[in-house]
Amino acid sequence: MATTSTTTAKTVPDSIVQNKYSKDRKVGEGTYAVVYLGNQVSTKRRIAIKEIKTGIFKDGLDMSAIREVKYLQELKHPNVIELVDVFSTTNNLNLVLEFLPCDLEVLIKDTSIVFKSSDIKSWLLMTLRGIHHCHRNFILHRDLKPNNLLLAPDGQLKIADFGLARSLGNPNEDLSSNVVTRWYRSPELLFGARHYTGAVDIWSIGIIFAELMLRTPYLPGKDDVDQLDVTFRALGTPTEQIWPNVSSLPMYNALRVYPPPSRQELRNRFSAATEKALDLLISMTQLDPSRRCDSTQALLHEFFTENPRPTEPENLPKKKEKVKSEDELDESNKRRKI
């Protein structure tokens, strides 16, 4: 990281930045950052620069920005977004990220694209590899959803947005249960658990897996209460029998007790899934987090070795290259959360 190796606490003048990276155009603006597309001048590589505003918040550097820098500095993996560089300009913190033009949500919503089962397998595999790398570094992502799974031009899937991530494994530490976008939130989080593990990410991936097969969100709760209902209607209400001590969780409620779905019901719902695919889905969406598979078990699952083999990333479906006006491009980029 060349620009970060300055030994004194001096700000890099803007001109140097301009020499190293070009900021071509602004593609989005959020509460704490502005995102530009540009190029790394020396390599002509396309990059995105996330300019984090500092000095505008009452409490100094924003927590999401701190988390993002903290974790992305440590995670180098083909399936995790690459933090190319970090530098500072007058009063701003700049994260140089690899340029990722598309995300999985865009593809799921584009009904003109057909997903083959080998495509789904490939995306799932890449997601699991990425999260496995996070988990073995004791990092929880806590906000996995199709919109945070970005796609590189060569088809590689990259986990992005570490603004909610945190370290795992310090005993006796309370964690917040108010994490993960609602539809992808695991039952232990819905019940307000203060101690949880990488299983929350595995749940999210299970739900994304289901969404890839259904081409529509699997558990779209309208609000937090409805989320419990939607979740348990699909997967059964957790009881003490299948999840010991579940009733001691702070927000446990089992007002409506739904029976767990039969294998046949799941087969009907996921009509294109093979038996192995269903096995893996069931394993990733176990209500009891201790029964849910972890990333290693998921990666070793026979689903990945049975035919068809996962599609090579470069052959995966891509966003249709329509001739888009600049405005439309800006719109689609803006939708992506920053």
Partner 1 sequence: MSVGTEIKREAEENVEQPEAKKKRISNDDLFRRSTQFEIWSYTQESLDKTKRAANAAGAKIATQKFNETFETIEKEQPEVFQTHNETLNKDKLLTLLSFEEEAKYLNYYTQNIIPIAKFFKMPTQVKLTAVSFFRKFYLSNSVMQYHPKNIMYTSVFLAAKSENYFISIDSFIKALKDTEAKDILDLEFIILQSLQFTLLVHHAFRPLYGFFLDFQAVLLHPSPLMYDVSVNTLGSLYDKAKTWLNDNVVLSEVAFLFTPPQIALAAMYEVDKRITDRYLKRKFLKEHHELDAIKEEDSGVKKEDSEVIEKIESTESVENGEDKKDGENETANEHKEKSTVESQREQYETLVRTIRKCIKIAKQVQTSSREEVKEIDRKCFYALNPKRLIEKQVKKVTKEATTS
User: Which parts are annotated binding residues for ATP?
Assistant: 27-35, 50
From 2, 15, 44, 59, residue interacting with partner 1 (rule: CB under 8 A): 59
* Annotation: binding site: 27-35, 50
297 near partner 1 (CB under 8 A): no
291 near partner 1 (CB under 8 A): no
Q: Which stretch binds partner 1 (CB under 8 A): 161-169, 208-216, 277-285, 323-331?
A: 161-169
Least separation in angstroms between residue 126's CB and partner 1 is: 10
Among the listed residues 85, 103, 119, 143, the single catalytic one is 143
Cα–Cα distance for residue pair 147/107, rounded to 1 Å: 10
16 near partner 1 (CB under 8 A): no
- Closer residue to partner 1 in complex, CB, 196/218: 196
255 near partner 1 (CB under 8 A): no
Least separation in angstroms between residue 309's CB and partner 1 is: 7
Tokens linked to 13: 């003048």
Residues numbered 128 to 147 that lie near partner 1 (CB under 8 A) are 128-129, 132-133, 136-137
151 near partner 1 (CB under 8 A): no
14 near partner 1 (CB under 8 A): no
Least separation in angstroms between residue 300's CB and partner 1 is: 6
From 23, 33, 48, 79, residue interacting with partner 1 (rule: CB under 8 A): 79
Active-site annotation holds for 59: no
Q: Which stretch binds partner 1 (CB under 8 A): 140-148, 251-259, 272-280, 304-312?
A: 304-312
Cα–Cα distance for residue pair 302/220, rounded to 1 Å: 29
Report the run of H or E that residue 45 belongs to, with start and end: strand 45-53
Point out the residues that are catalytic: 143
